């Protein structure tokens, strides 16, 4: 007799076999052994296929691909963290909705989209700087539906300006809040006035409370914030304590850490504080900030192909002025002044104000034109000293070369200096995703 496995039912079929023949064929147990022996054989089959199915799904969840880097024409050496998650997971059947507050040029959004893939959708965006909105709109096409509070600054996507003028009730429901609230109020390069800071009649320091206002209304599962390292010690630590306490008061478990961009696949020494808050009903006990991934990328890896336009090379007159400025500060015991970075090292933090460009100069001895294309005093310097280009600044922040830079250099330096390091955001977002997957 042959016993066929068809679902959970056994169907006897008449066919003779020798009593010693016992083997597997096409999911069937063949043989004339006793009933107990046949049940044991079927149990082994079930365990085998169950284990195979478990291992298959486990492997599928770990599949990753560096498609973003390949699409941008970049080497893995340059941006090892530039990767796109694919594969099925607990989140593959649902889309999490995000809002992008103080969106800048979309660096935080890009990091989360890389980590979550098609499982996130931006349903609302807000940014006060109209020039940053132009760069944002050139690179993102959502949200596609306007809210009803006020007219957006542009269409496709609908990006709103002053968040203080947007009603929380008019913002669509969302699962994750992304908020790189303004850092100038806490920055070492700024006045460090914190919650008392005022700019154009708007208190930049208190814009964090608009994040609270919106999140208290919608109760998202996750709130993500980024700011300068100076926030940690501002007002002897009291400012950070207020922020943490406010998030806890509206029902969140808060984690924060200072991470350095140079440890995550970019050639920039940039320390920032990252705050991740999970709603209390989300078990976040397993959350950890990511370990460093790659500290090997250097400035030589992010340079544009030669020849670099001559407008980026300093004039000998301006270089002499920078040297006098540096010597003047050195005589007073200060460390201010321009800096030429070695190509086998990292840049300093790129910032939008002060000496942000001049403290990240390089000596690029590759072939280039010595003919000025802009009005300068003197001639192009003979030491081949130049500033980094906006595209090179974008690479220092981990943006792929496919990211569009549509505005003038003046605006781009400001926007990139104010932005975030995308691979760091992506690494944190992957840890956030792991927590949410465990819940689902």
Residues carrying an active site annotation: 183
Backbone torsions φ then ψ of 385, nearest 5 degrees: -85, 130
Query: Would you say how long the chain is, in residues?
Result: 440
Backbone torsions φ then ψ of 272, nearest 5 degrees: -140, 155
The neighbour count for residue 256, using CB atoms within 10 Å, is 18
240 Cβ contact partners less than 8 Å away, ≥ 6 residues apart: 231, 232, 234, 256, 273
Tabulate helix, strand, coil % of the chain (nearest 5): 35, 20, 45
Task: For residue 381, give both structure tokens.
Answer: 């310097």
Half-sphere exposure of residue 164: CA atoms within 13 angstroms, side-chain side: 11
- What DSSP designation does 292 have? P
Task: For residue 295, give both structure tokens.
Answer: 């500290």
DSSP codes of every residue in 144-187 = -S--SSS--SBTTTTEES-GGGS-GGGSPP-SEEEE----TTT-
CA–CA dist 333, 88 (Å, integer): 58
CA–CA dist 308, 364 (Å, integer): 9
Closest of 425, 403, 340, 346 to residue 135, by C-alpha: 403
Cβ(88)–Cβ(58) below 8 Å:
no
CA–CA dist 41, 37 (Å, integer): 6
Helix (H) or strand (E) holding 111, with range, is: helix 107-116
- What DSSP designation does 311 have? G
Whether the bond between 185 and the residue before it is cis, its omega within 30 degrees of 0, is no
Q: How far is CA 301 from CA 74, 274, 360, 411, 437, in A?
A: 10, 27, 15, 24, 35
CA–CA dist 272, 82 (Å, integer): 19
Q: What angle do CA 86, 302, 267 make, to 5 degrees?
A: 80
Backbone torsions φ then ψ of 79, nearest 5 degrees: -130, 75
């Amino acid at each position: 007799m042959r016993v066929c496995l068809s679902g959970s039912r056994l169907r006897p079929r008449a066919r003779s076999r020798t009593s010693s023949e016992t083997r597997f064929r096409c999911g069937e147990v063949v043989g004339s052994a006793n009933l107990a022996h046949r049940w044991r054989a079927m149990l082994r089959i079930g365990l085998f296929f169950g284990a195979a199915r478990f291992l298959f799904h486990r492997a599928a969840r770990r599949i990753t691909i560096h498609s973003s880097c390949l699409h941008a024409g970049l080497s893995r050496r340059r941006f090892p963290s530039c990767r796109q998650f694919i594969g099925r997971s607990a989140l593959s059947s649902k889309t999490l909705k995000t809002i992008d507050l103080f969106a800048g040029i979309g660096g935080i959004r890009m990091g989360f989209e890389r980590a979550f893939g098609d499982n996130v959708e931006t349903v609302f965006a807000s940014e006060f700087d109209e020039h940053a909105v132009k760069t944002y709109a050139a690179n993102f096409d959502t949200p596609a539906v306007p809210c009803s509070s006020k007219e957006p600054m542009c269409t496709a996507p609908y990006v709103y300006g002053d968040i203080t003028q947007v009603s929380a009730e008019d913002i669509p429901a969302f699962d994750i809040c992304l908020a790189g609230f303004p850092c100038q109020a806490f920055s070492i390069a700024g006045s460090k006035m914190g919650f008392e800071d005022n700019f154009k009649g708007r208190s930049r320091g208190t814009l964090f409370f608009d994040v609270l206002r919106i999140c208290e209304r919608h109760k998202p599962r996750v709130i993500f914030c980024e700011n300068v390292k100076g926030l940690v010690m501002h007002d002897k630590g009291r400012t950070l304590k207020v922020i943490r306490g406010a998030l806890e008061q509206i029902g969140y478990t808060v984690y924060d850490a200072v991470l350095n961009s140079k440890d995550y696949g970019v050639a920039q020494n940039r320390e920032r504080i990252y705050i991740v808050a999970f709603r209390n009903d989300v078990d976040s006990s397993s959350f950890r900030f990511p370990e460093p991934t790659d500290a090997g990328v250097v400035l030589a890896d992010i340079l544009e192909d030669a020849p670099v336009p001559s407008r980026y090379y300093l004039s000998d007159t301006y270089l002499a002025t920078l040297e006098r400025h540096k010597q003047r500060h050195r005589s007073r015991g200060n460390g201010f002044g321009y800096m030429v970075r070695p190509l086998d090292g990292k840049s300093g933090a790129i910032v939008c104000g002060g000496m942000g460009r001049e403290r990240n100069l390089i000596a690029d001895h590759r072939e280039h034109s010595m003919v000025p294309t802009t009005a300068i005093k003197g001639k192009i310097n003979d030491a081949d000293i130049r500033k980094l280009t906006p595209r090179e600044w974008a690479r220092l922040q981990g943006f792929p070369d496919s990211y569009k830079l549509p505005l003038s250099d003046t605006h781009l330096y400001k926007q990139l200096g104010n932005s975030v390091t995308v691979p760091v955001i992506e690494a944190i977002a992957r840890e956030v995703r792991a927590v949410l997957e465990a819940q689902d």
